[in-house]
């Protein structure tokens, strides 16, 4: 059985943080310098009382409004997040109850980041293709802003919060092709919150190891080496050439990295989507958020590419025949 990406809906928090807002906090970090460095002007940030479950619920409500879907038709619910409301239980279970998904609906969390949408899409596609489910709801939601130290102007400038809801079904607009997935756990510490699990060592709330750390140079080096090869592998797997792809949608890491990759892989600007200027890096939501505005366009073949925390990577081609 074939699987299809049927619809994408988006939720953004109300609070919008501009480069000028950040520059006020760090006078030496001028707003023009922020845009020059990361290519971002605005990012949406969840308020102090807004968590992943709240954002996931809002994204699902938008999906209901935009598609008219009866949520009783959802057979399986996947929630991709690295900032769950609780360590136990899974946030997916909380959201299942709050939105009224059937008690016969499976509901699990996926702890994955920048490649999370591709990983989640691979699981959703497998559930539909195998006949286990007819309709899978894949939600991405992260609040990295809550894990950034208030003196970390770099990550504060880069990351934004968002949630998306995708419907994967046995019918729809984009047929989901074959996946290329990979992991190199030797780079696990390139993007990490060290004091965030069983082996947390510090009770000092202001300890930097309680907050997000990113080795930007290490992540860039990994991406520059691995992603061009990933593109080639996935094209071959799907029996396509680079010129057969009408639109490339990469994880929106930062504009410098995206333009570097586009030039290295030799993709024309009009076939390469960059739309993070007003959203920032929204982690697992960045790919569906970027693609949302193009979903109903005339794109025939779309390649989605995720990469980052883990270290992990993934690519898939969507076919609009």
Catalytic residue positions?
Answer: 114, 251, 281
Query: Rounded to whole angstroms, how far apart are CA atoms 280 and 19?
Result: 11
Q: Which stretch of DSSP H or E encloses residue 303? A: strand 301-308
Contacts of 82 (CB under 8 A, 6+ apart): 111, 112, 113, 116, 142, 144, 283, 284, 309
Cα–Cα distances in angstroms (integers) from residue 124 to residues 2, 67, 121, 299, 304, in the given order: 12, 19, 5, 22, 15
- Whether the CA torsion 114, 18, 49, 103 is positive or negative: it is negative
Query: Rounded to whole angstroms, how far apart are CA atoms 240 and 321?
Result: 14
Cα–Cα distances in angstroms (integers) from residue 31 to residues 36, 44, 135, 253, in the given order: 9, 16, 44, 19
* Tokens encoding 140: 């991405």
- How many H helices and E strands in the chain? 9, 14
- Whether the CA torsion 191, 196, 201, 202 is positive or negative: it is positive
Cβ atoms of residues 142 and 279 within 8 Å: no
Q: Where are the alpha helices (DSSP H) in the chain?
A: 19-25, 31-38, 52-67, 91-99, 116-129, 153-158, 216-237, 255-265, 286-292
Picking from 275, 65, 261, the residue whose alpha carbon sits closest to that of residue 160 is 275
* Tokens encoding 246: 């009408």
Query: Rounded to whole angstroms, how far apart are CA atoms 42 and 20?
Result: 9
Picking from 288, 114, 84, the residue whose alpha carbon sits closest to that of residue 187 is 114
């Amino acid at each position: 059985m074939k699987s299809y990406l049927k619809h994408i809906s988006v939720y953004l928090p109300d609070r919008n943080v501009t480069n000028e807002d950040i520059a006020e906090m760090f006078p030496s970090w001028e707003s023009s310098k922020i845009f020059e460095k990361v290519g971002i002007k605005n990012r949406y940030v969840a308020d102090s009382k807004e968590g992943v479950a709240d954002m996931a619920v809002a994204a699902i409500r938008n999906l209901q409004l935009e598609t008219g879907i009866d949520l009783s038709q959802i057979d399986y619910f996947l929630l991709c997040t690295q900032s769950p409301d609780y360590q136990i239980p899974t946030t997916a279970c909380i959201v299942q109850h709050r939105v009224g998904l059937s008690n016969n609906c499976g509901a699990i969390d996926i702890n994955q980041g920048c490649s999370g949408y591709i990983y989640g899409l691979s699981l959703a596609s497998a559930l539909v293709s195998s006949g286990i489910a007819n309709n899978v709801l894949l939600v991405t939601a992260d609040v990295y802003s809550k894990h950034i130290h208030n003196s970390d102007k770099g990550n504060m400038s880069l990351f934004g919060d968002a949630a998306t809801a995708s419907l994967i079904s046995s019918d729809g607009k984009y047929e989901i092709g074959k996946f290329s997935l990979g992991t190199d756990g030797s780079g696990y510490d390139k993007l990490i919150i060290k004091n965030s699990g069983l082996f947390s060592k510090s009770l000092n709330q202001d300890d930097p190891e309680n907050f997000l750390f990113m080795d930007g140079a290490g992540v860039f080096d990994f991406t520059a080496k691995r992603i061009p090869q990933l593109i080639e592998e996935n094209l071959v797997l799907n029996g396509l050439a680079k010129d057969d792809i009408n639109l490339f949608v990469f994880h929106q890491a930062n504009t410098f990295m995206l333009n570097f990759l586009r030039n290295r892989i030799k993709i024309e600007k009009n076939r390469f989507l960059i739309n993070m200027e007003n959203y920032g890096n929204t982690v697992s939501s960045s790919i569906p958020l970027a693609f949302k505005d193009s979903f109903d366009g005339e794109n025939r073949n779309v390649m989605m590419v995720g990469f980052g925390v883990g270290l992990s990577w993934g690519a898939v081609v969507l076919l609009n025949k």
